[in-house]
Structure 1
Amino acid sequence: MSQLENRPVRMVFTTRAGGVSQSPYASFNLGDHVGDDPQAVADNRARLAQILDLPQENFVWMEQLHTNNVTVVNKAQDTPVEATDALVTTTPGLALCVLVADCVPVLLADHSNGVAAVAHAGRMGARNGIIPNTVNKMIELGAKPQNIQVILGPAAAGESYEVPESMAADVEQHLPGSRATTKQGTPGIDVRAGLVRQLMGMGITNIDADPRDTITDEDFFSYRREGTTGRQAGVVWLTGKEA
């Protein structure tokens, strides 16, 4: 058995490559709410399950609405979890999924205590506390901040994410460390930077942040760059194996 297969938790981010969807969703679009051919999305999701060597029915998706709602799930279900932007589980083999196209996909796990979570941290969700809410729910289920590992996936970078001055100030007030300046010298937001600071303030230091910018990197779908486009995913699951 390889070292990878033996890990107690797995965390994966997809790109836009490797699927069957046609333009403007080309090609590995995993979002079923963006206007793509439903069969193409189904084929892409089946391909994801095959690549990750997990039963397709074990994948749990969300109806993401930029809320700060967190839902605990401990069994598979046929439809997306309604009106939630974070999922938490203690069930091995249950793959929690987040869909993004500029928002920050956040994967979290305390494999020592058997708790995993996924969160959709866009500007509004991050501003309104989706990550503290997620961490607190993990702690309720037995996780310890010092044991939680976090990976922030590819997302809109501060140098590209231009917003009005009032919006930058508002988000900075609620998510300190998120204010940025774009390449053009205009007000911007770096949600990942704010989240790293927020997580560290909660006693979580095992943090990795993928620096890739979805707005400028064409390996990823970007709503800001393309408007009508697909969605890439972040996936986390507990394997049930010992470290």
Structure 2
Amino acid sequence: MLWFSEEVRPGLWVGFTAAAAGNLAFHVGADPLRVAGSRAALDARLTELTGSRSALHLQYMNQVHGREVAVVAEPAAAAGAGCPPRGPTADAMVSRSASLAVMVADCVPVVFAGTGVDGRPVLGVAHAGRPGIEKGVIAATVAELRSAGASALQAWLGPSVCGRCYEVPEGMRAAVSAVEPAAHSTTSWGTPALDLPAAAAAQLAALGVPARQVGACTLEVGALFSHRRAVRDGGAEGRLIGFAAVRP
């Protein structure tokens, strides 16, 4: 079910799902009841991992490839059967109390954990696709985390399309590379490409946030969802998530 998971401290886990966890997005044409069931099964697994005595529910967001950061004040509630839970329209979230999720299928899922002035965790997630790298969603998320009092920040970069596979027009490569030079790449077959994981890592390094890359290429690895592979091969769409789950 999980591609990667790690206990950062007792009761606080970060990780990323594989396709075996099911499609976790309602917006890609999947059966809503099946998506809700996959989300409920993941919540149950995370409740077990964190050692919680009450049910844990991940907070999702309506992602639009921007740089808006939502501050989530309360833990998420259970959603109705087959109904998408309500969430903010944003491409990043920060919270001192909620467990957070970010959906991807080639973009870079970035998960953050830090410690607040009261010793409690401060969590964040960011959706760092090509537009997010250009618009500065990572910097906006780190600024909000620090505004919330987070110190000792660390980040994890999950599965995403790699720089050998993410082919783009030359003009797009030039535009993104002008913002973040580390994004400049070439495919394994010699055409212009973008390296989003390298770009995200470079932006985090410039902000003084240590990052661990724990992903693989979503296009190359069949155990992960990939939008580009689904378009190329005519397969079903799906979304995996990065998460920061804290004991309620």
1:29 matched to 2:36? The reply is no
Any residues of structure 2 matched to 1:161-176 within 5 Å, and which? 161-176=166-181
Any residues of structure 2 matched to 1:41-190 within 5 Å, and which? 41-53=35-47, 58-75=57-74, 76=76, 79-91=85-97, 94-111=98-115, 113=117, 114-144=121-151, 147-190=152-195
d(CA) in 2 for partners of 1:237, 1:14: 13
Contact in 2 for aligned 1:111/1:238 (Cα 8 Å)? no
d(CA) in 1 for partners of 2:180, 2:149: 26
Q: How far is the alpha carbon of 1:127 from its aligned partner?
A: 1.1
Any residues of structure 2 matched to 1:211-222 within 5 Å, and which? 211-222=215-226
d(CA) in 2 for partners of 1:183, 1:65: 30
Q: Evaluate the alpha carbon distance shift between residue 56 and residue 36 of structure 1 in structure 2; reply closer, same or farther with a 3 A threshold.
A: farther
Q: How far is the alpha carbon of 1:9 from its aligned partner?
A: 2.6
d(CA) in 1 for partners of 2:144, 2:99: 18
Count of equivalent residues: 224
More strand by share: 2
Q: Which runs of 5+ in 1 are unaligned?
A: 19-27
Runs of 4+ in 1 over 3 A off after TM superposition: 3-6, 54-57, 77-80
Give the match for residue 3 of structure 2.
Answer: none
d(CA) in 1 for partners of 2:162, 2:129: 12
Q: Which residue type is aligned with residue 154 of structure 1? A: P
Indicate the RMSD between aligned Cα atoms, in angstroms: 2.0
d(CA) in 2 for partners of 1:47, 1:211: 22
Q: Which residue type is aligned with residue 117 of structure 1? A: G
Contact in 2 for aligned 1:46/1:56 (Cα 8 Å)? no
Q: Which runs of 5+ in 2 are unaligned?
A: 1-5, 80-84
